[in-house]
Amino acid sequence: MKIIKILALVCFCLLLTLPTTLSLAQEPAPNIYEILTSTPQPDGSIYHIVQPGESLWAISVAYGIPGSEIMVLNGNSPEADEVYINQVLLIRRANTPTPTSNASPTPIPTTPQPTVFVPSRTPIPTKTPLPTATPTLPPSTAQVLFGDSKKVGWTMVACSGVGLLLLLVFGFLKKSR
């Protein structure tokens, strides 16, 4: 009996949320205000000034252009959908004039001129002193022993070994007397 009550409660909750999920999938309802479309400018561009109650969706329907295209023309993201009162929206860009050819049918004759070679002035290099040999002294015994970390390690081990050996020898000799 408890299971039936739980199932009934779940179904009731689903029925309550069903109308809201269906309304989210539909297109927004058109505005109750009539959108007055602007006439093109002399260059062919169309600008629209947003009036109170107008939405991007309603404006795009009135002009027959997708709202994402209007947003991109105005420098916004295609996913943007917010418009503000008195905002000026570019609906269509100006018509680009067709270029006409102004080329004259007869070419202008040119007289060939000799090319004069002018050499560039290269700077004269300055004299630089030649390198001289500097004598380098050989490393001392201490530098040879303590200059390499491996040698330092082995030297310390050797000194420690000699010290332990002396300690043992002289320690036992003193005790035995």
Q: What is the pLDDT along the chain (177 residues), one digit of tens a residue?
A: 566 555 445 445 444 554 444 444 445 544 455 888 888 888 889 999 999 989 999 999 999 999 999 999 999 999 988 999 999 999 988 887 777 777 666 777 778 777 777 777 777 777 777 777 888 888 887 777 667 777 778 878 888 999 888 887 777 666 655
Question: Under CATH, to which class is 31-95 assigned?
Answer: alpha beta
Instruction: Assign 63 to helix, strand or coil.
Output: helix
| Residue 125: per-residue pLDDT | 72
- Cα-Cα-Cα-Cα dihedral sign, residues 62, 67, 70, 74: positive
Q: Which residue has the tokens 């082995």?
A: 154
Q: What is the CA radius of gyration of the chain?
A: 48
| Residue 25: per-residue pLDDT | 43
